Each structure stands twice: as structure tokens, then as C-alpha cells.
Amino acid sequence: MIAALIGTLAAIVTLTVAAAFVSRATDRRIVWRVSLAAAALAALAVVVGVGVSLASQGLPAFATVGSLSAQAWLAPPRVLLGPVSLGLLPFLLLLLVVHVLMRPRAHATPRRLSRLLLMAAFSVASLVSTHPLVLILGWFGTAYVLWRELRDTPLAAGTARLFGGMQMLSLVAFASALLFGAFGDEWHRVALIALVLAVVLRHGLLPGQLWVADLFQHGPLGASLYFATPLLGDVIVLRLFYGPFAVASASAVGVLSVLALATTLYAAGLAIVQREPRRTLAYLWLSQSSLVWVAIGASSSIGWLSAMILGGVSAFASTGFGVTLWALEARRGALDLERYHGGYERMPLLATGFLVLGLGSVGLPGTLGFLGEELLGHALGHDLVALSVVLIATALNGITVMHVYFRLFCGAREPGPGSQQLRARERIGIVALVALMIASGFLPLLLFR
């Protein structure tokens, strides 16, 4: 795994240095180019490193947090890569490239891009380390960067307070769980309760979902999506559940699975009645991403594979939805779902990409989402209640995707000059997302062999 470690460390250094440079630059064109180059170089370093390591050494064992004893807290940080980290790292950085590539010029400010790069650096560090202090730093750092963005965003002061309060509680619960884990086995049950609370608040599972819709509606869309879609907190907690807390974690996973099942249906029902596209995106993401914990709760290898696929599909689809809103808001201003906006004939690629990614998230045949939904059905087996809830939620989400598509792209032809054509970089971003969704659906063994 030496090549993967070198590539990962190079990515962290590249992102950190670029964030520092971008924060001091003034020319927006240079800022955007440096940010894109840093994201692309970081992604390339990780992809090459992971590819070389897998080709030479094969797939490593699952990397968990080994110990939470006092010696582990005082020991120097170690870098440890498992199959989940090896899959998530390229995915995380490819999403970063898409975010920078398709960012509208109005949002390509030095402050926003530097913070996005810094958030990516925190995320990568959290995925490759098992040291308790590094995990706490990553948990805190990603939330803090987004909170600072909210504070500096007009009309988002209330959202900043709500988000900051919820994430502070989540951080306290997470850090407390790690500390309780250091006290011995008799404290593990208390630590697991704290971890469940941390996941509920970080992910937005019921009843901790209050911040999600406001964040997407009033916050910076790019940073909000990049904070939410990789499910970083969920991955960190899973490494704890199957590491130092493995003996007693089954009950905690079961509780999170039940909460996730309720959240999936609840969020799907809210998504279908929203009037603002951003709030619709928030609830769609919450509904689809909650299926990850439903799949993990099945406690089988099929469930784990389904969880990995559904997490990636949710991130692909949500990113596609988000960049579509970016492109439309830059050309039309504020959007609503109470009227038909039209415009398919001017942006057919954007409309088609949105539809494929949206339907792919609910299991469109030929996409990766179809494989994830099929595996989830097998993992749940004879649990008819869970299967029924998942089917109803998926159907509602499919209706929501079609409703948003019709409202944003269909209807009367829009007046005005043909200045709404997509730029070349926007076309590249949409095509890349759609190609990955379809290629991974037809050739899943390339990703999950």
C-alpha cells in the first residue's frame, strides 16, 4: 500500500497548499484555475497510487480503529488504508473536480474555493487515519469550514446558528464516545449511545434532520453538497463499530437502521411537496442516503456492498442535481417549482443529464443505482416491512425527480436570446457524471471486483 499512501499524502499536501494560495489571491480566473489544477492533481495522485497498490498487492483487509486506549491517544498518527478508504478517496476527489469545474463564476471567489479545498483536505485525512485525535479533527474541521461559509453568506445567519449548534452537539457526542472507549469495556455501551447520537445529528437522521433543508436552501450549495454527500461521519463511525466496539455494536447498528428507514420515508414524502428546488434536493439526498444505514443494518456482505453502491449513487445524483441548479440559477435567477420554466431546447444535455442521474438514484436499469437497489432487496430478504418502506420511498423519489424535471425543463419556450447554452466546462462535468453512472452500471466489476 506504499503507492496509495504516497498518493494520499501528496493529495493532502496539494489541497492544503492550494487552499493557502487561493485564499490570498485576487484574480478570480487564476483562483479558479489553481483550484481546478489542485483538485485534478490530488485526484490523479490518489487514483494512480490506489491503482498501483491494488495491482501489486491486491485488496487489503478492512481498516478499523484498532484501539482507543491511552497509548493510542498518545501514539503518533498512522496512515491505514482499507477497501472502503481505497474506494472513497478517488470518489471524493473526483467529486471535488466536478464541483470546481462546474462552479458558476459568481461563486468562484477565493474565499469559497479555498474553503472547499480545505474541506477536502480534512476529509481525506479523516479517511486514511485511525488516530482518535485526527478523527476528531476531521469531524470538527469539515463542519467548521462550512459553518464559516454560512456565517459569511447573506441571509444565512439563522442557518449558521442552527447548523453550528447541531454540529457542535454531534462533535461533543463523537469525542465523548472516543473518550468513553478509552475507559474500558464497561463504558462501551455509553460510548455506543454517544456514537448513535453523533450519527443522527451529523447525517440528519430523524429526529436530527432540522438543519438539512435550511442548509441547502440558504447556504452555499457547493460547500453544503460536499459536506453532506461523501457521508464522512458515517464512514468514521463504521470503522469504530467494527473496531473497538465490535462486540456490542449490533444494537447500535440496529437502532440506526430503524431511524434511517423512518427517515427514508419521511424525507421522500417531504421532497414531493416542496416548492423550492433546493429544499427538494435536500430531502431527496436525505431519503436516498439514509438507505445506506438500512443496508448496513441487514448485517450481510450483500448489505455492505449495497450500502457502498447506494452511498456513491446518492452522491452522484445529488451532485448532478446541485450543479444543474447552479447552471439554471446562474441563467434564470431564483427558481421555483410552481410553474413550468421550459428551456429543454436550449440545454438538452443538462436536462438529459439531470434526468439520467435522478432516475439512476432510484434504480433506473443500466445505471449503478439499479444494482444498488437490487442488492438492497436481496439483503433485506424476508423483512416485508422494511422492503415495503423502501419501495414506497423509492417510488415517491422517482415521482419527485420527474416532477422537478418537468418543472425546470418543460413547458413554454423561453423568450430571449440564446445565451443559455452550456459552457464547455459545464458540458464536461455533466457528461462525466452521467458516464460514470452508466459505465459503472454496465461494468460494476471494474469497481467492486
Q: How far is CA 64 from the centre of its chain?
A: 21
Q: Which range, of 16-20, 330-334, 355-359, averages the lowest pLDDT?
A: 330-334
pLDDT at 40 over 90: yes
pLDDT at 194 over 90: yes
Q: Phi and psi of 129, rounded to 5°?
A: -120, 150
Do 222 and 211 meet the contact criterion of CB atoms below 8 Å apart?
Answer: no
Using pLDDT thresholds of 50, 70 and 90, give the confidence band for residue 60. low
Give the integer Cα–Cα distance in Å for 444 and 55. 18
Q: What percentage of residues in the chain have a pLDDT greater than 70?
A: 93
- By the 10 Å C-beta count (0-12 exposed, 13-18 middle, 19+ buried), 140 is classed as middle
Do 73 and 133 meet the contact criterion of CB atoms below 8 Å apart?
Answer: yes
Q: What residues contact residue 298 under an 8 Å CB cut-off, 6+ apart?
A: 257, 306, 376, 379, 380, 381
Burial 299-310, CB ≥16 within 10 A → b, else e: ebebbbbbbbbb
Strand partners, 79: 129
Using pLDDT thresholds of 50, 70 and 90, give the confidence band for residue 353. very high
Give the integer Cα–Cα distance in Å for 408 and 277. 9
- pLDDT tens digits, one per residue of 382-432: 889 999 999 999 999 999 999 999 999 998 766 554 456 788 899 999 999
Give the integer Cα–Cα distance in Å for 399 and 381. 25
Whole-number pLDDT of residue 248: 73
Listed residue (265, 256, 121, 260) closest to 194, CA to CA: 256
Q: What is the chain's Cα-based Rg?
A: 21
Identify the residue with better confidence: 5 or 8.
8
Q: Length of the chain, please?
A: 449
Grid coordinates in use for 49? 497510487
- pLDDT tens digits, one per residue of 86-117: 778 888 999 999 999 999 888 889 999 999 99
- By the 10 Å C-beta count (0-12 exposed, 13-18 middle, 19+ buried), 371 is classed as buried
Using pLDDT thresholds of 50, 70 and 90, give the confidence band for residue 120. very high
pLDDT at 199 over 90: yes
pLDDT at 80 over 90: no
DSSP conformational letter for 423: P
Listed residue (435, 440, 421) closest to 350, CA to CA: 421
106, containing H or E segment: none
DSSP one-letter string for 402-421:
HHHHHHHH-SSPPPS-STTP
Using pLDDT thresholds of 50, 70 and 90, give the confidence band for residue 76. confident
DSSP conformational letter for 79: B
Q: What percentage of residues in the chain have a pLDDT greater than 90?
A: 59
pLDDT at 41 over 90: yes
Query: Coil, helix or strand for 192?
Result: helix
Give the integer Cα–Cα distance in Å for 313 and 270. 21
Give the integer Cα–Cα distance in Å for 298 and 169. 28
Whole-number pLDDT of residue 382: 83
With vertex at residue 45, the alpha carbon angle to CA 39 and CA 48, rounded to the nearest 5 degrees, is 135
DSSP one-letter string for 158-182:
HHHHHHHHHHHHHHHHHHHHHHHHH
Listed residue (227, 241, 288) closest to 99, CA to CA: 227
- pLDDT tens digits, one per residue of 25-36: 989 999 999 999
Using pLDDT thresholds of 50, 70 and 90, give the confidence band for residue 279. very high
Give the integer Cα–Cα distance in Å for 152 and 315. 26
